[in-house]
Amino acid sequence: MGPKRGHGTPQPRFGLEVQLDKIAEQLKLDPAAMRRANLVKPDTVTANYLRIGSMGLGQCIDKIVDGSDWKNKFSGWNANDRKLPRGKGIGIACSSYICGAGLPIYWNNMPQSGVQLRLDRQGGVCVMCGSTDIGQGSDSILAYIVAEVLGIDPFDIRVITADTDLTPVDLGSYSSRVTLMTGNAAIQAAERARELLVMAVAEKLSLPIENISLAERRVFDVENPEIGVSFAEAVVLAESKFGTIGTVGSYSPPRSPGRYKGAGVGPSPAYSYSAAIAEVDVDPETGIVVVERVWIAHDIGKSINPMLVMGQVEGSVYMGLGEVLMEEMTYRGNRNVVHKFPSMLEYKSPTTMEMCDVKTYLIEDPDPNGPYGAKEVGQGPLLPVPPAVANAVYDAVGVRIDEVPITPEKVLKALRDKARGRDGRYGPGPVPSVEWPEPLRVLTPAEGGDGKEMPRVAVHS
């Protein structure tokens, strides 16, 4: 699987979600209901000391189960009483993803994101931030957030990003961190600017500060909205009173409750959740898998721009299809090692011809740590797609392909093995033996732990 998106996470997530499907089969449980019954609770700390804020996975599962008509399609692990014809199958998988890493990628105590604002006398606002828009729309998020706080239009805002001469540091577009971290920094900078405007206008109108509100490019009295000044006039008043108006904001994630060695892996200000159901058509004669439809629900916390969020979710489905059906990092043998498919012609990605129908649901359960409650949508929704397809292939033809990409050769081989009475499974063999170090013992929160590892007992031999 090539690292197109969310690298490092799709692999264990694939293994976990396929494993959950196998467990559900052994226990004869509905895999959707089994997941629904084992959700982590909101506003809790997990056994490994990750602090969960909002948690909308239950709603995600409900949405896709209803939308896909799961209950009338899933075989219920009974091959003799199928609801879909043989060759058609349906599978489910879920996932969670961090909204930025709790610790900075370059270890230091400074903020992970900084935003600088400059207000000019004509009422224009310039937002400067080191973040890099890689097509996901993060520049526009800065404009929406500052516009919301200052009661102006996003079109009044000039955004300057990714220019190390002009912008304060942001650590970059990785770990699905940009909206949450730059958004929080932008809110802080904009609120500081708003405070200056409000003080100047309150003094001018002889009103108490708490009466002043900002909306529709005006700064006005909430009790008598006709009394007020334009946003540009407010900037002039503030500049006359305080001097040139420029503010800064920054964001550092809250400290993780985990204190044990290794606790730095996984903490995040917030976690997004996704659930997907895939419906596939598998030709048992050729092994060709066609993904016909995907229903996907994503707990975004709050959509700052729903169109961008939907685009990210659907793009994730597309990239998930590539990872599960085609993309492969393969190297030649063990001598003269070269990448087997070093060009985009041989390294196959889906085209529009392979793209399936997608039904997207956005679940909004605002997270206290997100800007306006927003969580990530960069990498999370990719994760359930490959295992949902693998689980659907099993439902369709009864063979487990425990390895991506799921190619026709692998499906055929598993089908033929099964027909000969062998295990209908294609995938890696046993886990290689590993010499594990002595484990650390950490009491979980439920066991009364404090996040630190337990002292090692010295063993004398």
Which residue shows structure tokens 């996932």?
95
Shorter beta-carbon distance to another protein: residue 342 or 428:
342
Question: Shortest distance, CB of residue 320 to another protein, whole angstroms?
Answer: 16
CB of 285 to another protein, least distance (A): 10
Q: How far is CA 77 from CA 29, 30, 83, 461, in A?
A: 8, 8, 11, 52
Q: Whole-number minimum distance, CB 288 to another protein, in Å? A: 9
How many C-beta neighbours within 10 Å does residue 203 have?
A: 13
* Nearer residue to another protein within complex by CB, 195 or 292: 292
Decide whether 38 or 330 has the Cβ nearer to another protein.
330
Produce one character per residue of 404-426: b if its CB has 16 or more CB atoms within 10 Å, e if not.
Answer: bbbbeebbbbbbeebeeeeebeb
C-alpha count within 13 angstroms, C-beta hemisphere, residue 397? 31
- Residue 130 is given by DSSP the state -
Q: Please give the distance of CA 380 from its chain centroid, rounded to a whole number.
A: 3
Residue whose CB is less far from another protein, 338 or 459: 338
Q: Which residues bind another protein (CB under 8 A)?
A: 326, 332, 336, 338, 340-343, 345-346, 348, 350-354
Query: CB-wise, 103 or 326, nearer to another protein?
Result: 326
Least separation in angstroms between residue 338's CB and another protein is 5
Nearest approach, Cβ of 407 to another protein (angstroms)?
Answer: 9
CB of 326 to another protein, least distance (A): 7
Locate 186 and state its tokens.
Answer: 């932008």
Q: Which residues contact 405 (CB under 8 A, 6 or more apart)?
A: 1, 323, 324, 325, 326, 327, 328
As measured in angstroms, the least distance from the Cβ of 281 to another protein is 14
Nearer to another protein, 164 or 334 (CB): 334
Instruction: Please tell me the distance from the alpha carbon of residue 306 to that of residue 274, in angstroms, as a whole number.
Output: 16
Sequential DSSP letters for 393-458: HHHHHS-EE-SSS--HHHHHHHHHHHHTTS--EES--SPPP--PPPPP-B--GGGT--SSBPPPPP
The distance of closest approach from Cβ of residue 348 to another protein in the complex, given in angstroms and rounded to an integer, is 5
Looking at beta carbons only, is 242 or 331 nearer to another protein? 331
- Under the phi-then-psi rule, with left for phi > 0, alpha for psi from -120 to 50, and beta for the rest, what region is 228? left
| Angstrom distance (rounded) from CA 155 to CA 175 | 29
Residue 409 or 423: the one with the smaller Cβ distance to another protein is 409
What are the angstrom distances between the C-alpha of 291 and each of 294, 316, 322?
8, 14, 11
Nearer to another protein, 328 or 453 (CB): 328
Quick one: 351 or 461, whose CB is closer to another protein? 351
> What minimum distance in Å lies between the beta carbon of 336 and another protein?
5
Distances from the Cα of 114 to the Cαs of 131, 181, 322, in angstroms?
A: 9, 9, 35
Nearer to another protein, 73 or 348 (CB): 348
In angstroms, give the least distance from the CB of 400 to another protein.
22
Of the pair 29, 288, the CB lying nearest another protein is at 288
CA 155 to chain centre: 28
Least CB distance from residue 110 to another protein, whole Å?
Answer: 38
Q: Which residue has the tokens 């405007």?
A: 197
In angstroms, give the least distance from the CB of 86 to another protein: 22
Identify the H or E element spanning 64: helix 57-68
Alpha-carbon distance of 24 to 34, in angstroms, equals 7
Question: Rounded to an integer, what is the distance from CA 242 to the centroid of its chain?
Answer: 41
